[in-house]
Amino acid sequence: MPTDFADRTDFENSAKGLIATLDPCIVEAADGRVVWDIDAYRFLDADGADTVDPSLWRQSQLTAKHGLFQVTEGIYQVRGLDLSNMTLVESDNGVIVIDPLISSETAAAALALYRQHRGNKAVTAVIYTHPHIDHYGGVLGTVEHDTTVPIVAPAHFMEHAVSENVYAGTAMLRRGVYYSGGELPKGPIGRVGMGLGSAASTGTVGLLAPTLEITETGQEEVIDGVRIAFQMTPGTEAPAEMNFLFPDHRALCLAENVTHNLHNLLTLRGAQVRDARNWSRYIAEAIEMFADRADVIFASHHWPTWGKDAIVAFLTEQRDMYAYLHDQTLRLLNQGYTGIEIAEHMELPPQLDAKWHTHGYYGSVSHGVKAIYQRYLGWYDGNPAHLWQHPPEQQAKRYVELLGGVEATVAKVREYAGNGDLRFAAELGSHAVFAAPDNSDARQALADVLERLGYGSENATWRNCFLVGAHELRNGNFHTPIEQGSGLAPAMSVTQLFDTISLRIVGPKAWDDKLSINWAFTDTGERYRMELSNGALVHHRTDKKVDADLEVTLTKVELLKLIATGSLEEIEARGDTSVWSRLLACTDAVDTDFNIVTP
């Protein structure tokens, strides 16, 4: 059953409750740099373009709608001022902020728009639904760094925020340039959106550590007079996530667990694989817990759904979608099919596929199935021929040699592209580029193929990946426009800060060196032991007093400065201070702009 372009329900719901827009909807940083510009998407007012899938154009029109909206009495959303939504719940003495966007600049603009129409209310609490940057990064645009208001989050929030955004943050941000299309020109031949929202802002990122953790389903809290009932949903859209009901408002927040598209089971920027089985079950639990108690549901992306019948139908279809993908993938992998094979033939049931909100604008059936396979069986497909393959450059040289050289390979790329087999043309083109990265014909041929793949993609993140790859082949490496690690550092624990050093140790450089450092923190009374041994930097909290090559006494603030500057000056240190220099000499610099589409 095809989806119905005449169905305007989503357009009606996305416009419902509009109070005001920001005009112009452009947000600048203190230095005048534009960090958000939704007005650049006005080209979506047209009916469509030959270079954009019609279904994706429709979704992009919806996600480009922006302004302050009333969800229900006492609950408001600012949508279209970042990739995510900011929700504001009025409380006895002010307003509770849910998910304060990515950047402090966009968060401040969203809060100012709310205050312009609802009064200058103080922020009385902040709630993070889960530890992805678009749900906490703008917190310092809503409260001061030394705020005493509650910062509410699901248990293990900090653990996963740091794991994803710091430990693997450099790689995720670089890959994120591809899947977000952040540096593409906005328009029908470039970026039209991300499916989940229009784009990610590029302002100042910060983080305040939670002061109130939600640990179990059924936990209830009263925050500045507002009753909230929580449901824990770990392993769904994030390793730590939660839904919650406002009983007195009959309004249910579904975080990022139920949105108006098929979500990622493994995001293209990289993350832990999500659990489709439990995702479905948590939606089922939400129906059971909350469907009779809610007149409206809203999420941290997209637009709300009103009315019990519509709510139950929406949740049920989302529940069934994740369950179907999970169960059918497991059924087929147990028959010996690999992830790629299963993904090639998997289709949603027609009655689900006919719904707009099951379409893969952000996630996809294809890479969702591969994620489920990976979760259970890992990267190896069981075929011994795939157990020890050459890396891309070495493979490329051999394939190009077999095909008769780079020129012959490029000719085959164009031949397959001309016959409509863009997928194999892209594979051959990648071999040509990896074998001869400076060959302009190879780069141009692959860029042409990737561009055509992008123009035909319903999935926004696939489109962006294809088009960014094409752009880099033609114009050179994009710069990664956002750095989030430094903004997170003040909220990180000492162990997590030490991890940022240990993860940069170049093992072979450190094989033959041994050193030890004792750290004493005067502000917390904590002591830590650090040893470089066999190329690994091991550190842990300790109460034992064991001699070390270097003894450092400092505060956590001084540790932040030490890591940032590398200098022990003005820090109390006893023993062999050259130990610190030796340790730093074993680390490497982070490359935020590493190559992806070329070697």
Q: What is the pLDDT of residue 164?
A: 84
User: What pLDDT was estimated at residue 485?
Assistant: 55
Specify the pLDDT at position 584. Answer: 94
Q: Both 429 and 540 in a single domain?
A: no
* 3-class DSSP assignment, residue 243: strand
Regarding beta strands 251-253 and 296-298, do their DSSP bridges make them parallel or antiparallel, or are they unpaired? parallel
Q: Phi and psi of 89, rounded to 5°?
A: -115, 120
Are 450 and 497 within one domain? Answer: no
d(CA 168, CA 162): 9
- Would 325 be classed as within a structural domain? no
Q: Look at residue 478 and tell me if it is in a domain.
A: no
Give residue-wise pLDDT tens across range 97-152. Answer: 999 999 999 999 999 999 999 999 999 999 999 999 999 999 999 999 999 999 99
Residue type at 275 in one-letter notation? D
144 burial (CB, 10 Å; 0-12 / 13-18 / 19+) is exposed
Helix (H) or strand (E) holding 447: helix 440-455
| In-domain check, residue 216 | yes
In the Cβ-directed half-sphere of 425, how many Cα atoms lie within 13 Å? 24
Are residue 272 and residue 209 in the same domain, yes or no?
A: yes
> For the chain, which residues score pLDDT lower than 70?
1-2, 481-486
| 30 and 169 inside one domain | yes
* Residue 30 C-beta-side C-alpha neighbours within 13 Å: 3
In a domain, 260, yes or no: no
Using CA atoms, how far apart are residues 60 and 57, in angstroms rounded to an integer? 5
Final residue before a domain boundary, out of 244, 277, 310: 277
CATH of the domain at 196: 3.60.15.30
Strand duo 26-28 + 34-37: pairing: antiparallel
Kindly state whether residues 20 and 134 are assigned to the same domain. yes
Say if residues 422 and 449 touch (Cβ distance below 8 Å). Answer: yes
End of a domain among 434, 456, 478? Answer: 456
428 and 516 belong to one structural domain: no
How many structural domains does the chain have? Answer: 3
113 shares a domain with 206: yes
Domain match, 128 and 181 both: yes
Query: Is 304 inside a domain boundary?
Result: no
What confidence tens digit (pLDDT) does each residue in 307-330 have? 999 999 999 999 999 999 999 999
Q: How far is CA 64 from CA 194, 269, 377, in A?
A: 10, 22, 39
- What does each C-alpha distance from 9 to 16, 182, 450 come to in angstroms? 10, 29, 34
449 and 525 inside one domain: no
Distances, alpha carbon 366 to alpha carbons 37, 84, 192, 382, in Å: 32, 24, 21, 20
pLDDT in the model for residue 483: 61
In the three-class reduction of DSSP (H, G, I as helix; E, B as strand; rest coil), residue 480 is classed as: coil
Provide the residue range defining the domain that includes 444.
389-456
Q: Rounded CA gap, 346 and 400, in Å?
A: 32
Asked whether residue 429 falls in the same domain as residue 547, the answer is no
The CA angle 249-250-254, to the nearest 5 degrees, is 105
CATH number of the domain residue 416 falls in: 1.25.40.880
For residues 552 and 435, state if they share a domain.
Answer: no
The residue among 214, 246, 277 that closes a domain is 277
CATH number, domain with residue 556: 3.30.1050.10
Task: Report the amino acid identity of residue 72.
Answer: T
Count of residues in the chain: 599
Structure tokens at 355: 């719904």
Distance CA 286, CA 134 (A): 23
Same domain, 405 and 515: no
Q: Is residue 592 situated within a structural domain?
A: no
Q: Which residues contact 427 (CB under 8 A, 6 or more apart)?
A: none
Is 23 within the bounds of a domain? yes
User: 479 lies in a domain?
Assistant: no
Q: What is the pLDDT of residue 1?
A: 53
